[in-house]
Amino acid sequence: MILIYPPVAKPCEPPAGIAKLCGALNHHRVGYNVLDANLEGLLYLLSVPPAASDTWTRRAVRHLSRHLASLTCWTAYQDDGRYRRAIKDLNRLLDMAAKSTRVRLGLANYQDEDLSPARSADLMRAAENPENNPFYPYFKKRLADYLKSEQPPIIGFSLNYLTQALCTFAMIGFLRREHPGVKLALGGGLVTSWMRNPRWKNPFGSLVDHLVAGPGEAALLSLLGVSPSQDNHFRPNYDSLPVRDYFAPGPILPYSSSSGCYWNKCLFCPERAEGNSYQTIPADRVAEDLLHLVDKHKPVLIHLLDNAISPSLMNEICKHPPGAPWYGFTRITRHLTDPDFCLALRQSGCVMLKLGLESGDQSVLDSLHKGINLEEASLALKNLRKAGISSYVYLLFGTPPEGLTEARRTLEFVVKHQDCVGFLNLAIFNMPIYGPEVRQMETRAFYDGDLSLYTSFDHPKGWSRQLIRQFLDKEFKRHPAIASILRRDPPVFTSNHAPFFVMDKEMTRI
């Protein structure tokens, strides 16, 4: 079979979902091929010089090889100006390459002026007209080469982000037209979200043979006529992926020790709305996996993908360090108020933690059932800074219990802790389209599309999205302390590249 990761997603690390599928297939001795069409497709378009007369594009073409080389070694990450110039120029070249197709294209962006990934009819149109896709010259030849000698029993696509949807269906449409006998399977995070909607009705039955929601290992093995072993944990396998070719100064290994969230109490949480149960791999097996993978691939960084790394896993990693720098998302818990625990995290290789603070107002946190105490959050941020661990803090504006007064308290909290906050992610709240809390709100269409994951709502405090944007642009972002933090955020790759700008030289390894 063939496993395909379609454009467009950040091309900085191997696709974790496909690596897990490879692990399951290897365990059961099932043959397969892997195609990271995202990385290959982006590099293909970059290699085709655009017809351009402007100075910027000509300069970007001239420096293309230098930019690509600088992002795959430490050169750009040791010079912020050079890094930003490389990202900006690469985005320019991609956008120019797609200009004739009415698509705005970048290293992590795909926006079609005519088609929406939130409308099933538009996805079907993308499948009916694959030649309109900017990646068509690439995938036409690449897929034809794969299918020249044999017809695989199944071709599977991993669709995780909206930016991948139109390209995925263009590739599916090409295969359905040129190779109608091939069985097509479609899974991934975005597909799971579609299928978990209580009002879901499959609009792709004429195009896709199998849709898979949730973890795909057992489902894929079943489609291949293989009975899964009783042990449902298979160590991810990256051997079929170009781990050293991604936009990073060395291999990044993404690893997920759990699905769902161990807290699972936050209001309006998509995981909770979708009914995704919390499933975890025993901490000692995670530590064993990481040691094995680090020894094999010599990564420059480990990316732990859990919605929230559990305290028990952090304890295990402290006892058995993986031997490479690591980072991931975790809840602000009492464990982080212990200076010794934070120091042990640092000694285990932790260089950055992503923290979902969401708000600097205690009443908002309590109303959302976040389980976060601001006094503990303050102490945690200070302890992490003292231990040498950078904090990438996530803030969420416009939730139902928050108004302008509460948002200004968030501003005050961040300013007070400016020396402890390495990076900031600012987001405006999107109401999930379904879930127990949504029924209590006055809602209306958010996107014009039957596959939309979110709905608009009448804010109880009258704080509309327009007013939120005005606050962020004219007040929050303009505070000198916050502006200084925001300027540190790597463009496009954001948290995926942020660890490279805070790692000590002795922690870097390739």
Compute the distance between CA of residue 404 and CA of residue 501 in angstroms, rounded to an integer: 33
pLDDT at 510: 37
Residue 182, exposed/middle/buried by CB under 10 A (0-12, 13-18, 19+)? middle
pTM of the complete model: 0.95
User: What are 452's two structure tokens?
Assistant: 């939309």
User: What's residue 445's pLDDT?
Assistant: 60
Separation between Cα atoms, residue 212 and residue 216, nearest integer Å: 7
Q: Would you state the structure tokens that stand for residue 262, as one six-digit string?
A: 């161990």
Task: Tell which residue, 254, 35, 24, 10, has the closest CA to residue 156.
Answer: 35
* Cα–Cα distances in angstroms (integers) from residue 311 to residues 93, 219, 283, 319, in the given order: 44, 31, 10, 12
| pLDDT digit string, tens, across residues 370-385 | 999 999 999 999 999 9
Distance CA 274, CA 434 (A): 8
| Distance between CA atoms of residues 444 and 432, nearest Å | 12
| Confidence at residue 439, expressed as pLDDT on a 0 to 100 scale | 64
Contact 460, 403 (CB under 8 A): no
Fold of 252-507: pyruvate-formate lyase- activating enzyme (3.80.30)
The 3-state secondary structure of 182-229, one letter per residue: CEEEEECHHHHHHHCCCCCCCCCCCCCCEECCCCCHHHHHHHCCCCCC
End-to-end CA distance of the chain: 32
pLDDT for 277 equals 82
List, for residues 256-315, the tens digit of each pLDDT value: 999 888 988 888 887 777 777 888 999 999 999 999 999 999 999 999 999 999 999 999
Query: What residues does each domain of the chain span?
Result: 2-223, 252-507
What SS3 class is residue 118?
coil
Token pair for 263: 């807290």
pLDDT confidence of residue 504: 75
Q: Nearest 10 degrees: CA dihedral of 45, 46, 48, 54? A: 120
Q: List the chain residues with pLDDT less than 70.
A: 435-448, 505-510
Looking at residue 474, what DSSP letter applies? I
